[in-house]
Structure 1
Amino acid sequence: MAVSFRASSSFLVLPWVLLLLCGFRVQGEAVPAMFIFGDSLIDNGNNNDLASFAKANYYPYGIDFAGGPTGRFSNGYTVVDEIAELLGLPLIPAHSQVTSVEDALHGVNYASAAAGILDITGQNFVGRIPFNQQIHNFESTRNQLTARLGAARAASSIARCIFFVGMGSNDYLNNYLLPNYATRLQYNGEQYAELLVQQYSRQLTRLYNLGARRFVLTSVGSLACIPSILAQTPFSRCNFGVDELVIPFNARVRQMVDQFNSNLPGARFSLINVFGIFRGILSNPFAYGFSVIDRGCCGVGRNRGQITCLPMETPCLNRNQYVFWDAFHPTSAVNIILGQKAFLGGPDEIYPMNVQQLASVDLSHS
């Protein structure tokens, strides 16, 4: 697979200008802007200046990225980088690092490593920006735009933008599955999934009430065979019991998407089946060009998954053949596949419409 990596840009946001561009499109762009919310799978530097153990702003992270280490938990692209490129957008800058107005006009990435749907998720990493705070950060952007442009023009502008939300993985890996959390004693798997989706639904409704109309959500990916899980047993076995916890959450999120599409006027929600796509890659890796699925490219200990990628560690050389970059995160090669399937895939990969279709759908009469 040929992989091309572009340099990242970092810019200070002037919120009223940010969405100004959302009122019109530059030639070659499918949408004017994309706003991104999530965790370490799509964080591109928001944790860099936090008092946090969840950081990736050091080599060899970014070894295959034109800008070097940026805070991305990858050797190169994240899934939102690939989607931005397919939409004709520049790479979207991190909220905490934006310093120039011109390149901030295409959107902002609010995602934060260790963040979850629940505010308490990820507290073992200390500093992180939970989903509620990410929404608040966008709300500040939106309020300043409204004050500058007026309510009607601001609302029209925001409605043209894509809102990408990838949440939920940490609510399992860095909450429910950790012994220092009481969550597993309070809820069984079904109850916890219901708790998460109730909160998630309220949060997404809040974004809708702030003017968001085009949503791309992700399911929680398959966790059973990530290096961190493999490393927990001496025989490096997948723990499919972990996926049995995740499956009820993903099923409820899909139901939520159907409900939102039926009940929220003028909105369209799409759900990327990351769980199914990832399981497909692991079950037939050679079809996708991968040969190593049982360990990270960078990490320490069994399966290179007991301790995640350390500063200046020497990673594997054949990175495009690895599914996993470190103990928890996929390689850039996998992220690019996920982005391409999200952009052009059928309903088994992204439901009910792909990103390309979502970008072009007319919401004015819905």
Structure 2
Amino acid sequence: MATFINAVLCVCVLLVFGTCGTMCESVVPGFYVFGDSLVDNGNNNYLTMSLAKADFPHNGIDYPTGEATGRFSNGKNAADFLAEKVGQPSAPPYLSLVSKSKKLSSTNEVVTGVNFASGAATILNPTDELFQKSIPLTKQVGFYFLVHDELIKQMGLDGAQAHLTKSIFLIVIGSNDLFGYFNEDSEVSKQYTPQQYVDLLASTLKGLMKQMYVLGARKFVISGVGVIGCCPAQRKHNALNECNLEANYLSIRYNEGLKAMLRDLKTELSDINYSYFDTYYVMSVLIQNPLSYGITEIEAACCGLGNLKADIPCIPISTYCSNRKNHLFWDLYHPTETVSSMFAGLIYNGSQEVTTPMNVEELVKL
């Protein structure tokens, strides 16, 4: 516990005095992001039918431009901060590269990285794909196939493979699949027991990572699911604003399955390496000892309306807190920029208490 506390306090100091130095030098050739709204930086802006969007105020109020970009945050998200630490710019949203009939061949941005993440994305394919509300992980990996082909065109087969072998592949997903299990009209809860369901999620993710491996990916950064039952959207259903213990228990079971899957994958494919971030543990420590990290509000969202500011999401008519740095949650689901920066700092150089079997700083040196 002490190691974690010291690490987070160090991150907090970096937030005040800056994060540059040697870590801002480029240490990886490419940074490729897959996942959900925790790391989406604008892909859903291009999905006409999607309701999971953040391209409007008050989102982005603390972003460098002061404008909403499609990030579900008051500022940057964890993928932005981690990209900085490995010396790369924030990867452009994939759909921004192919919008308005623009072709990947018209840009060399794919070399330094691409963000495929999508708000509301899931590991399992949704049943209502008639309307494209998000980009599920299977489709994100399909988009990566196209980027891989473009890298070969630009760099040649050997050059592309050498590039991808040293690149980082960040995967942050799973929360929406778990939330879906508890929906009133959930079909999956009728089909699977909780254990069967989390096993299915882990095995599906394993298959997708193997596809990425075939196309060059060797260094993975995988984030476990956080304490999802303690987000404002879940707390508001309890008269005492307490966490949803059933949702948290499912998160624990999924994370255990995810760690076991990663160990098995390493056994099967010995030349891959990975860093697993224990988001659940980190969030639990923050919730139990918030004042130690400058957090004074762990229950209510900063932006929204109603009970815990979670009855209505962060939209232009919502109100927002004046001090975003002391809130754990920006809106009813997502962390503030400050907390995302803390997470990224620990992903990069945290101890084995929070990153296993290594942190990203160690991963990039392999």
Q: TM-score, normalised by structure 2?
A: 0.88
- Alignment match of 2:171 (pick from 165, 168, 171): 165
How big is each residue's C-alpha offset from its partner over 1:317-343, in whole Å with a ceiling of 9 and x where there is no partner? 011000010000010111000000000
For 1:292 and 1:124, the matched residues in 2 are separated by 40
- Alignment match of 2:250 (pick from 245, 260, 265): 245
Match of 1:95 in 2: 94
Post-superposition offset of 1:239:
1.3
- Alignment match of 1:268 (pick from 255, 270, 273): 273
For 1:207 and 1:311, the matched residues in 2 are separated by 39
Q: Which amino acid aligns with 1:284?
A: N
For 2:227 and 2:127, the matched residues in 1 are separated by 19
- Matching of residue 34 in structure 1 with residue 31 in structure 2: yes
Match of 1:77 in 2: 76
What is the SS of the residue equivalent to 2:145? helix
Match of 2:142 in 1: 136
Post-superposition offset of 1:121:
7.1
Match of 1:111 in 2: 117
Aligned pairs, number: 341
For 2:71 and 2:60, the matched residues in 1 are separated by 7
For 2:258 and 2:301, the matched residues in 1 are separated by 29
For 2:227 and 2:332, the matched residues in 1 are separated by 14
What is the SS of the residue equivalent to 1:224? helix
After superposition, residues 11-30 of structure 1 pair within 5 angstroms as 28-30=25-27
Q: Identity percentage over the alignment? A: 33
What is the SS of the residue equivalent to 1:118? coil
How big is each residue's C-alpha offset from its partner over 1:51-75, in whole Å with a ceiling of 9 and x where there is no partner? 2000000111000001321000000
Post-superposition offset of 1:181:
2.1
Post-superposition offset of 1:148:
4.5
For 1:121 and 1:77, the matched residues in 2 are separated by 31
- Matching of residue 191 in structure 1 with residue 196 in structure 2: yes
Q: Which amino acid aligns with 2:39?
A: I
Match of 2:327 in 1: 322
Q: TM-score, normalised by structure 1?
A: 0.88
- Alignment match of 1:354 (pick from 332, 352, 359): 359
| Structure 1 residue ranges (4+ consecutive) displaced by more than 6 angstroms after TM superposition | 121-125
Q: Which amino acid aligns with 2:94?
A: H
Q: Is the 8 Å Cα contact of residues 273 and 363 (structure 2) preserved in structure 1?
A: yes
For 1:253 and 1:190, the matched residues in 2 are separated by 12
Post-superposition offset of 1:77:
1.5
Post-superposition offset of 1:311:
1.9
Match of 1:211 in 2: 216
Post-superposition offset of 1:246:
1.3
Moved more, 89-98 or 109-118: 89-98
Q: 1:123 to 1:184 in 2, by over 3 A?
A: farther
Post-superposition offset of 1:101:
3.7
Q: Is the 8 Å Cα contact of residues 39 and 114 (structure 1) preserved in structure 2?
A: yes
Post-superposition offset of 1:169:
0.5
Structure 2, unmatched stretches of 5+, are 1-11, 19-23
Q: Is the 8 Å Cα contact of residues 54 and 125 (structure 1) preserved in structure 2?
A: no
For 2:130 and 2:296, the matched residues in 1 are separated by 33
Match of 2:9 in 1: none
Moved more, 261-270 or 330-339: 261-270
Q: Is the 8 Å Cα contact of residues 304 and 319 (structure 2) preserved in structure 1?
A: no
Match of 2:158 in 1: 152
CA RMSD of aligned residues (A): 2.3
How big is each residue's C-alpha offset from its partner over 1:253-310, in whole Å with a ceiling of 9 and x where there is no partner? 1111212222213210111101111111111001111001110000121111122111
What is the SS of the residue equivalent to 2:151? helix
For 1:237 and 1:286, the matched residues in 2 are separated by 19
Q: Is the 8 Å Cα contact of residues 78 and 332 (structure 1) preserved in structure 2?
A: yes
Q: Is the 8 Å Cα contact of residues 312 and 318 (structure 2) preserved in structure 1?
A: no
Q: Which amino acid aligns with 1:172?
A: L
For 2:300 and 2:127, the matched residues in 1 are separated by 26
For 1:121 and 1:66, the matched residues in 2 are separated by 38
Q: 1:59 to 1:311 in 2, by over 3 A?
A: same
What is the SS of the residue equivalent to 1:112? coil
Post-superposition offset of 1:124:
11
- Alignment match of 1:54 (pick from 52, 55, 58): 52
Q: 1:74 to 1:275 in 2, by over 3 A?
A: same
Q: 1:291 to 1:148 in 2, by over 3 A?
A: closer
